[in-house]
Amino acid sequence: MPTPGFILALREKIGHDLLWLPGVTVAAFDDGGRVLLGQRADTAQWTLITGILDPGEEPAVGGAREVLEETGVVVLIESLVAVHSQPPVEFVNKDRCQFMNLVFRARAVSGAARVNDDESTAVGWFGLDELPPLGEAHLQRLQWALDFAGETYFSR
């Protein structure tokens, strides 16, 4: 999905100034313990499934929505495993954002993994011993999901 309409409306008012936005990352696992990843269309990087919450959207609902929109997989959000602030990012068009990211662990309940929108060029399930290259941030989020034992990680 392209940039959400509410962000485009804000950009008309504030230009490229830094926006603080709520983001979600979902580490979704199937019954075999494989993790769902997508290869981003804009950077070609493999990542966990991510997205921006809509205004007023419940975070777990938004996380599940992002997974379905991007991959065609229906998930049950099981846990909030981490809350953290990401460094500011600047996009090619000079827009600047900083995300407060909520990382969820989820279980796949139905659907077949497929490219389901224009945000990804590939989508698939990967065993932990056969992961494609992941950036450090996504490796850390995956580790938080794997290590989760009932206590949400917060930077302190």
**What pLDDT digit, counting tens, does each position of 52-70 carry?**
999 999 999 999 999 999 9
Q: How many domains does the chain have?
A: 1
User: Is 117:89 a contact under the CB 8 Å cutoff?
Assistant: no
User: Is 66:54 a contact under the CB 8 Å cutoff?
Assistant: no
Question: For 20-30, b where at least 16 C-beta lie within 10 A, e where not — what string?
Answer: ebbbbbbbbbe
The residue range of the domain holding 126 is 5-154
Average pLDDT, the chain: 95
Residue 72, domain CATH: 3.90.79.10
**What pLDDT digit, counting tens, does each position of 82-124 carry?**
999 999 999 889 999 999 999 999 999 999 999 999 989 999 9
